[in-house]
Amino acid sequence: MALPNLSEWHVELLRITAFLQFNDRAKEETWWQQLFGNPPETRTVRANEGLLQDEGPFFDGKLTMAVRPGRIDWVWSVNPVIPLQNTTPPSLGNLTETTEQFKSKLAEWLGLAPPIARLAFGAILDMPVPGKIEAYKLLQMYLPAVKLFPENSSDFTYQINRPILSEVVQGYRINRLNKWAAIRATIMGLREGGQMVRNELFAARLEIDANTELEAAIPIPKEKNLPLLVELISAAHDIASKGDQPQ
């Protein structure tokens, strides 16, 4: 049986992380304004931690920029408020469209960033299903090296790293961590009149972290930042479209 189309994965979160070469700071207080043309909705500064965090709306979700010594995270996440009528987990949209939107916006920032030693792309994806058994059957399709028994299995998680060599930066290895699970979420609330409502959501979940290896001895050339990010996103798409493929 063919695997579902890549666009059937619903995105709960996308993340781009840059680990800096020299713990540099580079006018991060101006980055949000430069990218969006307006100040962030909220800004948090904790000088004792060296933290600057900006937040604001981005399409149907929330975008957060967190700058710490040696590390910068851009995280696009769903609205934490889930409507009672939802029959699927909250989502930013499908994987194909959202990664393109995220990449397009952050491409400009990669040109502003200080020297980067490591780059990472992360994603949390859900594929909604009617129930628990269907979630396990779907996971079995993506995990040919694992034997699951959908009717008699529970609390399953599977995590593995399948590294590959970068085609963008010679000598770099790309880690491709992928974690699989079946999830069940319960939404509870009150309708008008005080009636208690309970709604259960089921999905197969995939968490991906594609990143350049810690041991890399050379910094990433600035002109390679965007091509390398595209390569990391492609690695994530490959996992989401083909599942775990033993070498």
pLDDT in tens, 49-94: 889 999 999 998 999 999 999 899 999 999 876 665 666 778 999 9
Dump the DSSP string for 86-141: -SS---SSBHHHHHHHHHHHHHHHHHHSPPEEEEEEEEEEEEEESSHHHHHHHHHH
Residue type, 188: M
d(CA 119, CA 228): 8
Which candidate, 17, 178, 16, 9, places its Cα nearest to that of 91? 9
Q: Among 53-62, 97-106, 175-184, 213-222, which stretch is predicted with the lowest mean pLDDT?
A: 213-222
Q: How far is CA 65 from each of CA 48, 96, 223, rounded to the nearest angstrom?
A: 18, 22, 22
For residue 23, what pLDDT band results from cuts at 50, 70 and 90?
Answer: low
Instruction: Tell me the one-letter amino acid at 102.
Output: F
For 27: left if phi > 0, alpha if psi spans -120 to 50, otherwise beta; the answer is left
Is residue 60 within 8 A of residue 79, CB to CB? The reply is yes
> Do strands 42-46 and 10-20 pair parallel, antiparallel, or not at all (unpaired)?
unpaired
Q: What is the pTM of this model?
A: 0.91
pLDDT the model gives residue 86: 62
If we measure between CA atoms, which residue out of 41, 39, 84 comes closest to residue 61? Answer: 41
Token pair listed for 22: 């020299």
Share of the chain above pLDDT 70, in %: 89
Residue 29 is predicted with a pLDDT of 86
User: Predicted confidence band at 26 (pLDDT cuts at 50, 70, 90)?
Assistant: low
- pLDDT tens-digit series, residues 192-227: 666 666 778 899 999 999 999 877 657 899 999 999
- The H helix count followed by the E strand count for the chain is 4, 10
What average pLDDT does the structure give for the chain?
A: 90
Report the SS3 class of residue 238.
Answer: helix
The closest alpha carbon to 85, from 184, 183, 201, 195, belongs to 201
Q: How open is the CA angle 105-108-114, to the nearest 5 degrees?
A: 125
Of the pLDDT bands very low, low, confident and very high (cuts 50, 70, 90), residue 140 is: very high
* Euclidean distance between CA atoms 183 and 129, whole angstroms: 10
Q: Is the pLDDT of residue 130 over 90?
A: yes
Task: Using pLDDT thresholds of 50, 70 and 90, give the confidence band for residue 132.
Answer: very high
